[in-house]
Chains A and B, each alone.
Chain A
Amino acid sequence: MSVDSLKPNRSRTRRGAVVKDVISRWTFMVPAIVLLVAVLAYPLLYTLQISFSDFDLATFAPSSWAGTGNYEDALGDENFLNSLVVTGIYLVLALPLQIVLGFGIAFLLNAEWRGRGVVRALFLIPMVVAPVVSGGIWKIMLDPLWGVITWFLGLFGVQPIDWFGDAGMAMISIVIIDTWRSVPFVVLIAAAAMLALPKDVFEAASVDGANWWQTLKSISLPMLAPIIAATFIVRWLGAVKMFDVVVATTNGGPGQATNVVNLYIYRQAFQLLEFSTSSAMAIIVLVITMVLTFVFLWGSKKLEDRL
């Protein structure tokens, strides 16, 4: 009798404790989920809906079911596919450069000295300046006729380079400007991460006579791996949205050489008022970035486990 009456109680309290524990864990996720569902779920569902319909401008609402028509239009649009390629080229050039440069500079800036804080605060500024202004000032500096960089290079006998007029150079110029704007982010995250690294491991290594390359390879990199991966992923998602700098400098040209996908979709929607096609394109881009993000996440997890 007593045993039977005890058992249900104990299992109930254990279940209760487990439920409480799960709830307490989930509570951490709840604010973010609620916020994002409120703000992302409807727009994404709406975009999905109109990507499968024809859009009536007069009532500004989807009208009839169009099946996969919009997707076929999007995938058949040569310029859209080209913009995906252009964005891909930009990412391949910009991302590794920004990560390597960022962590390298962070290492330099982390040296302990009095001006460190001020230098770090100043380093922020390129990130903060309005993208339109950054792009415009860089365009003026790089101008073959009156740019100060052209003038400076001219002192060494370098002929004026058509930074924005030549298709290849235009992409490089965009990468340069974007790197200038985004490396501070990597630098500051990396600097914060490096600061949090326990110092005793490094002291032990230097006492053991390890040079900087060995320290880097066996100690710093493994410890920084999670942050490197996190920064890469965040920067990748930011870079996919490249838009302002291109508009301020090349406007997608020359030809289609810098017509990144975000700019192309923006034009489809805001100037051509093609809302259903642009929604289909946006969903396609979302799917691609989701797949790639999952790949990067899986890769970084493997990296973390190994190191």
Chain B
Amino acid sequence: MSHRNTQRSHRKAVIAIASISAFAVTLTACSGGGGSDAPADGGGLGTADKHVKITMMSNDAFAETWQEQLVPEFNKAYPYIDVTIDSTPYDSLLAKGLLNGTSPSPDYDLITLDDPWTPQLAEAGVLLDLKSDAAQWTEDDYDWDDFNSAPLASSEWDDGQYGVPLRSNLLVMLYNKDLYAKAGLPEPTPELTWDQYMEQAPELVQDTDGDGAVDSWAVGLTWVRGVLSPPFWQTVLNSNGGALFDEDMKPTFDTDEGVAALQTQVDLLEYAPPGASTYNYNEPLDAFRQGKIATLFTWGSAYKSAAVDEAVTTLTPDQVGIQTMPAGSEGASAHRGIWSGSVFKNSDNPEAAWALLQWMSSKEGELWSSANLGSFPARKSTLASEPAEPWLAPVYTAIQSGFDVAADGEMWRPRSPDSNAIQEILANETSAAVQGDRTAEEALDRAASEIKELLEK
């Protein structure tokens, strides 16, 4: 009898579970699906009585500065638009952006995108094409041509312009002038080639205080397994005229030049401090700040914290030089890394959102941002102007020449809806080569075949 009762209660439990699940499934099924289209009038720019509210999901590193300094400045020009900028950790930005873009009731109007992400979101159809869909709200004096082509291209995809550059960055070479002097070597110039650099590297491993132990090394860069690591050898490859992919996204890096480029990255490990094989972004930067390495290949935005900020570094602007990376057979090398701002297609206030982006990336806005926030500009006019801080002058020169070079050689991370997957494959194989698990040739062959397989799916 009790058995029958337990059976009955079992059955009841199963029915309960099934119905709750069914209910939940229908809930989501009803609300799933693409986002609504933007209102035809674009939401307007607000009035004194009725402000327009827009929200932006932004990378953690600059969200707070933008909210506290940039938004008030923006409000001087557009007093009726209330902007909220939320900081989102880098790793989750892409996924949350996609979730927001496909939501029927989105929380955000704007998003900042790192270099390789635009193709994925554009393919998914969640971004607004700023040159066509938003053309009606573009100011007459908004000069598209004043942009350097390299940073602008980072948010371009499939003939559509899905964003504008907000914070531009470039892989550069920082060097410690004192350590070069101690080694008796001339300071790097834009004409320095990779071959010359590789010759100099052993001499930069030195014992500076004469106690018999090496305490200063030649180089630091990203060697750890991760997406920041392949750009280095890609830059070497680009400077020698090679490229990662051709127009049809077929791998073209499993060539002799590619192998030589990857081998360069592997070889440089010899002249780096102990533990360098786990160097990510922070570690080589910290080593450089402590005066332990003579050259640092990193993003140009690191200059300030490497040479200027006293609380953070032991070096001064006089001691630190900045340069484009060494040249290959085809010329100097550079690698672009741009944060762009994009508008979600399902936003209710695309006009106001685009107004914010326009202001930020306009000539005046860029000048203001570079002067007050220390971000690097993308416009030719801004880079040609006199920077606010004297130490920025060589930085601007390096960046402008870097942009020119990058545009010529298409020097940036792979761009396709599969770019993240491609980058992971490259990261794995680069790490395997750096570790010595595989030769450079084996690593690149494997990467090429894996990527071909991936793209065929």
Chain A residues packing against B (C-beta within 8 Å)? 14-15, 18-19, 22-23, 26, 33, 37-38, 41-42, 45-46, 57-61, 79, 139, 143-146, 160, 162-165, 167, 249-256, 267, 269-274
The answer to whether A144 and B424 touch (CB under 8 A), given A37-B17, A41-B20, A45-B21, is no
Say yes or no for B13: interface residue by CB 8 A criterion: yes
Please state if B273 and A255 are interface contacts (CB–CB under 8 Å): no
The answer to whether A41 and B17 touch (CB under 8 A), given A59-B33, A254-B277, A273-B120, is yes
Please state if A269 and B95 are interface contacts (CB–CB under 8 Å): yes
Please state if B9 and A271 are interface contacts (CB–CB under 8 Å): no
Please state if B225 and A250 are interface contacts (CB–CB under 8 Å): yes
Say yes or no for B370: interface residue by CB 8 A criterion: no
Residues of A within 8 A of B20 (CB): 37-38, 41-42
Please state if A272 and B21 are interface contacts (CB–CB under 8 Å): no
Residues of A within 8 A of B274 (CB): 144-145, 160, 162
Nearest opposing residue in chain A for B422, CB measure: A272
The stretch of B141-149, B387-395, B399-407, B427-435 that contacts the partner chain: B427-435
Residues of B within 8 A of A41 (CB): 17, 20-21, 24
Residues of B within 8 A of A267 (CB): 424
Nearest opposing residue in chain B for A44, CB measure: B21
> Which residues of B in the span 285-308 have a Cβ within 8 Å of any Cβ on A?
287, 290, 292
Q: Which of B24, B283, B435 is the one whose CB lies under 8 Å from A255?
A: B435
Residues of A within 8 A of B277 (CB): 162, 165, 254
Could you list 16 A-B pairs, sorted by A, with CB under 8 Å? A18-B5, A37-B16, A37-B17, A41-B24, A60-B99, A60-B102, A143-B275, A143-B283, A145-B275, A145-B292, A253-B278, A254-B431, A254-B434, A256-B428, A271-B91, A271-B420
Please state if A22 and B225 are interface contacts (CB–CB under 8 Å): no
A-B contact count (CB 8 A): 134
Please state if A253 and B224 are interface contacts (CB–CB under 8 Å): yes
With both chains docked as a complex, state the minimum distance between the C-beta of A9 and any C-beta of chain B, in angstroms. Answer: 15
Please state if A61 and B424 are interface contacts (CB–CB under 8 Å): no
Question: What is the CA–CA distance of A126 and B55 in the complex, to the nearest angstrom?
Answer: 38
Given A250-B278, A252-B225, 7 more A-B residue pairs with CB atoms under 8 Å apart are: A18-B1, A37-B20, A42-B20, A61-B33, A163-B275, A254-B431, A255-B435
Query: By CB atoms of chain B within 10 A, which of A139, A167, A254, A274 has the most?
Result: A254
Say yes or no for B40: interface residue by CB 8 A criterion: no
With both chains docked as a complex, state the minimum distance between the C-beta of A98 and any C-beta of chain B, in angstroms. Answer: 25
Please state if B2 and A22 are interface contacts (CB–CB under 8 Å): yes
Residues of B within 8 A of A164 (CB): 275, 278
Residues of B within 8 A of A252 (CB): 225-226
Question: What is the CA–CA distance of A270 and B2 in the complex, to the nearest angstrom?
Answer: 50
Nearest opposing residue in chain A for B16, CB measure: A37
Please state if A22 and B120 are interface contacts (CB–CB under 8 Å): no
Please state if B33 and A167 are interface contacts (CB–CB under 8 Å): no
Please state if A19 and B225 are interface contacts (CB–CB under 8 Å): no
Question: What is the CA–CA distance of A42 and B20 in the complex, to the nearest angstrom?
Answer: 8
Residues of A within 8 A of B385 (CB): none
Say yes or no for B98: interface residue by CB 8 A criterion: yes
The answer to whether A59 and B225 touch (CB under 8 A), given A18-B1, A38-B20, A41-B21, is no
Please state if B431 and A58 are interface contacts (CB–CB under 8 Å): no
Q: Which of A23, A143, A270 is the one whose CB lies under 8 Å from B91?
A: A270
Please state if B278 and A22 are interface contacts (CB–CB under 8 Å): no
The answer to whether A57 and B124 touch (CB under 8 A), given A145-B275, A145-B287, A270-B95, is yes
With both chains docked as a complex, state the minimum distance between the C-beta of A269 and any C-beta of chain B, in angstroms. Answer: 7
Question: What is the CA–CA distance of A243 and B217 in the complex, to the nearest angstrom?
Answer: 33
Say yes or no for B331: interface residue by CB 8 A criterion: no
Residues of A within 8 A of B166 (CB): none
Please state if A26 and B91 are interface contacts (CB–CB under 8 Å): no
